[in-house]
Structure 1
Amino acid sequence: MCLRTGFLGRALCAGLFLFPVLLAGRGMRGGDIAFDMDVARFRAGEGWTYLEIYFSVPRNAVTHIPADSGFLARLETEIRIMRRDSVLMHKQDILVDPVDDLSELDAVSDLYNVFPFYLKPGEYDIRFHVTDVNSGKSGWIERPAAVAGFQDDALRLSDIQLATQIRPDTTRNIYYKNGYAVIPNAGALYGLELPVLYYYAEIYGLSPLVPEGDSTYSVSAFVQDLNGNVVKAEPIRKKNRMGTSLVEVGRIHVAGLTSGAYRLSLNVEDGGASTVVSSDKPFAVYRRADYLSREDAPGPAVTSLASEFDGMAEEDLDAHFAYCDYIATQREKRDYKRLDENGKRDFLKKFWANRDENSMTVENETKLAYFARINQSNQRFGSITREGWKTDPGRIFILHGEPEEIERFSGDMGRRYYEIWHYYRLEGNVIFVFVDIQGYGRLQLVHSTHSRETRDFEWRRWIY
């Protein structure tokens, strides 16, 4: 059973179905339980295609009944892969969702799962059925799936798989792909609660390296609206070809886009063969404030943050500002210490208002994204003795986000474990080197080429 913070139910109530491009191709659906399903196709080799089907359903759409300890929901899933009305493949599973108290369901979250299939090229139909075991309610989706082959000698891109999170991983669970845990976003919906769009794709058929030939390839990612206008574009990334098949992982902050349907496009150019291949994927952005009338909409960010800070005691205000240590200036830190409780409250309102990228919206996107990274840092880098946001990797992640590439070097033969994080778009390409100096799994920053970090060009002495 898997959980993810979500907001699909609230978005649907607000009129998400105004986004027809997003729903096009999602097939027919019906029943009492609304859920989302999507697919992604990847090359499997020897003429096979790896088809991944993933789905999500709002947690509070499933009935939780009293159990020995708390409450329990059971959701039965069933998938049939059809061809000419014949069932080729059939998979069933049950997701079990225990909660201590029903109030936990007030915070909307999703149940989700992934189902792998291996298919030969052809035309198929997918029939996905879910049943709430406790209530008997059910829902279904039927959609076609065209499975194309991947030629070994041609430059190709897999489908783009949208995700709520992509992180380095070696556990090889059902979300594992080529060194990453890819948590899929079946609804393809983003916004203030999911401000960062993560994407995963695989590149096939890059030209082999030849002496004195071009050894690079370039990747560009951009977002278009329904009219084809580019509304967000990432800098072109030029990389060295390390093989003929490679993985492309990236992220784009989309919470600043207004509610609507968009399309993510990914272009890859092979410098060795001067060939280009493209792939795209529709998604949607939903922000509640975009649907409020002018009369109902709150004012700028200072006003919208008032209720949050007005209800805080001084110790809570201090705890909040402690999290801001990485972005507050020295002057701001000195000024804050001199203030009384009411002064600190006003200070924090102005502190975040000054950093709000879009003061016309109800939410402060900058603040939401910052604390989302703090939460992710605690999950990824925390330990029993130290919160993740206070670690060196946590600090760099909070300030700069997910690195474009992470090199990991195992600790053996008298060498300590270490990682090199690459940010190709930051200051023209910078690195951060972390070493497990004490051998207890705590990575410490020993060198960086970033202008505001300590440099130690003899950093390799730390790994022995």
Structure 2
Amino acid sequence: MKYRSRLKYILKTASTVVLFTTVITNSLSAQTPVVTDSVLQFSADVAQFRINDSLSLGEVYFAIPRHGLNFIESENGFRARYSFEVTVSRKNKIITTENWTATSFAALREDIKATQSLFNVAKFQFKPGSYVIHTKINDLNSAVHGEKKVPLKIRGVPADSLGLSDIELATEITRDTTQSVFHHNGYRVIPNPGRLFGDGLIILRFYLEIYNLALAENAFYTVQYRIFDSDNSVVKNFSPRRRKTVATNLVDVGGINIVTLHTGVYTLQVTVRDKISGQKVLKEQIFYVYRERDMKDREKVIAQHIPKNMLFKLYNSYDLQKLDAEFESAGWIATRVEKEIYKSLDLVGKQQFMGQFWYDRDPDSTTVRNEFREEYLARAEYARQNFGGFKKGWKSDRGRILLMYGTPSEIERFPSEQGLRTYQIWHYYEFEGGAVFVFVDTHDWGDYSLVHSTARDELHDEEWERWLTIQP
């Protein structure tokens, strides 16, 4: 498979301490996180680039689901406003905190699509060491919010050693002279924090920097690219390409066609060898592929291969029935793609998948506990015990609202009176400026149905009170 020519550009010394901005890009629907329980499930990733022997540029990338923000009507259409708070800490001590706000405009509501992501980046200077990046994102038009902690280990690159930056995966790379926040040595690199490629992104685009090449007459170096699947088997192997060494620090920009790769987890490996010094260095980056066609040919679906933590060990003890039951209860927060992939996996694949499913939603991946999972399953159990009837508790209307939006701020309960049915009104005071959900026991069976809500994208019926009347 052919790949784009790698372009080289002499590096400039980075001088920016903190930068941030936003850009909208259409990408895979599978990559778009979902909003549940007023929690914004955004993607985040980090990469580091050398400044000098003692400093590195650390970049933090974000992908926010545009449709998950609350757009309110404004003079020229609809506007969403959201804020960032990024805290950098080391050894439980806060080093710095940066805050900023961003805005997204849409002429029509129809212009806000599930396939759109808002990409953002913040840049910091680091000395070598281990750090934690804690990010909070708040929708300023509603109570929707999200938090995520990402570890970042800064490794210094000595001046006498061949070195590579991290591999930054991208949704788009173009030549750039605007010096925008996405600018990298002559290129505009729009990040792909979710690392997901496939039907919407068939080119694996990436950017990395090469440091400390030896300069001499007729000096050259080679770059080789390989892709491994989850079994560590080579699925793409390109011959080393020879490059002329025109500077000690260079850039490598690539795009590999991955249209033949099936759904699964892969690793991109880049190896650089300096002919003059004889030094060799390599860097790897995990990425994911999802293809709709694989769902029609389940034998081709590659089970997820992911790092282990306590949750993965827990699911290794689950049988198929227990796994299916838990994933079924999580149906309200699972994406369509996740549901299709889960159905395609065997026992081992489902065990690994469930660990990754909750890991992706963990607001703090630096700790052992997964608070999001614990809270969600606790609500699912409450729904099972209290909302059961002809449906499983979590499948009922009240169960769905409880699992998707969390525990209500207040519940008004109205018992049956002469000629009127029993009903409940759930209030969420911090959601969308105050949302209401009305449930009526429409059949007098104790199985309450949602008949009206003021929440966006929920059933809306201004004449809901007609459901209260018991017809003779």
In structure 2, the partner of 1:188 is 195
CA distance change for structure 1 residues 34 and 9 in 2, over 3 Å: closer, same or farther? farther
In structure 2, the partner of 1:179 is 186
In structure 2, the partner of 1:158 is 165
Structure 1 contact 48–149 (Cα < 8 Å) conserved:
yes
Structure 1 contact 78–90 (Cα < 8 Å) conserved:
yes
In structure 2, the partner of 1:197 is 204
SS of the residue 2:51 aligns to: strand
1:238 maps to 2:245: no
* Per-residue deviation, residues 345-389 of structure 1 (Å, max 9, x unmatched): xxxxxxxxxxxxxxxxxxxxxxxxxxxxxxxxxxxxxxxxxxxxx
Q: How many residues are paired up?
A: 276
How far did 1:2 drift?
Answer: 1.1
Q: TM-score, normalised by structure 1?
A: 0.57
How far did 1:58 drift?
Answer: 1.3
1:81 maps to 2:88: yes
CA distance change for structure 1 residues 155 and 31 in 2, over 3 Å: closer, same or farther? farther
Partner amino acid, structure 1, of 2:196: L
- Choose which of 52, 63, 68 in structure 1 pairs with 2:75: 68
Partner amino acid, structure 1, of 2:124: F
In 1, Cα distance between equivalents of 2:227 and 2:53: 34
* Per-residue deviation, residues 28-50 of structure 1 (Å, max 9, x unmatched): x9971111111111101151011
SS of the residue 1:106 aligns to: coil
The alignment yields a C-alpha RMSD, in angstroms, of: 2.0
In structure 1, the partner of 2:433 is none
Partner amino acid, structure 2, of 1:237: R
How far did 1:8 drift?
Answer: 4.6
In structure 2, the partner of 1:286 is 290
CA distance change for structure 1 residues 31 and 206 in 2, over 3 Å: closer, same or farther? farther
How far did 1:87 drift?
Answer: 1.4
Partner amino acid, structure 1, of 2:138: T
How far did 1:222 drift?
Answer: 1.4
How far did 1:53 drift?
Answer: 0.7
* Per-residue deviation, residues 121-174 of structure 1 (Å, max 9, x unmatched): 111111011111111111111122111111110011110000111111111110
Gaps of 5+ in 1: 14-28, 295-464
SS of the residue 1:45 aligns to: coil
Partner amino acid, structure 2, of 1:5: N
In 2, Cα distance between equivalents of 1:234 and 1:131: 44
In structure 2, the partner of 1:135 is 142
CA distance change for structure 1 residues 230 and 11 in 2, over 3 Å: closer, same or farther? farther
CA distance change for structure 1 residues 251 and 293 in 2, over 3 Å: closer, same or farther? closer
SS of the residue 2:67 aligns to: helix
Structure showing greater Rg: 2
How far did 1:186 drift?
Answer: 0.7
Structure 1 contact 196–253 (Cα < 8 Å) conserved:
yes
In structure 1, the partner of 2:279 is 275
Superposed counterparts of 1:359-378, under 5 Å: none
- Choose which of 257, 260, 269 in structure 2 pairs with 1:253: 257
- Choose which of 224, 229, 237 in structure 1 pairs with 2:228: 224
CA distance change for structure 1 residues 85 and 12 in 2, over 3 Å: closer, same or farther? closer
Q: Relative contact order: is structure 1 or structure 2 higher (C-alpha 8 Å, sep ≥ 6)?
A: 2
Partner amino acid, structure 2, of 1:251: G
In structure 2, the partner of 1:108 is 115
Structure 1 contact 195–255 (Cα < 8 Å) conserved:
yes
In structure 2, the partner of 1:4 is 25
How far did 1:235 drift?
Answer: 3.5
In 1, Cα distance between equivalents of 2:295 and 2:89: 40
How far did 1:106 drift?
Answer: 3.1
1:170 maps to 2:191: no
In 2, Cα distance between equivalents of 1:221 and 1:269: 12
CA distance change for structure 1 residues 8 and 127 in 2, over 3 Å: closer, same or farther? farther
SS of the residue 2:293 aligns to: helix
* Per-residue deviation, residues 74-109 of structure 1 (Å, max 9, x unmatched): 121110001122211111121211111111123521
In 1, Cα distance between equivalents of 2:55 and 2:203: 32
Gaps of 5+ in 2: 1-21, 299-472
How far did 1:256 drift?
Answer: 2.2
CA distance change for structure 1 residues 233 and 30 in 2, over 3 Å: closer, same or farther? farther
Identity %: 33
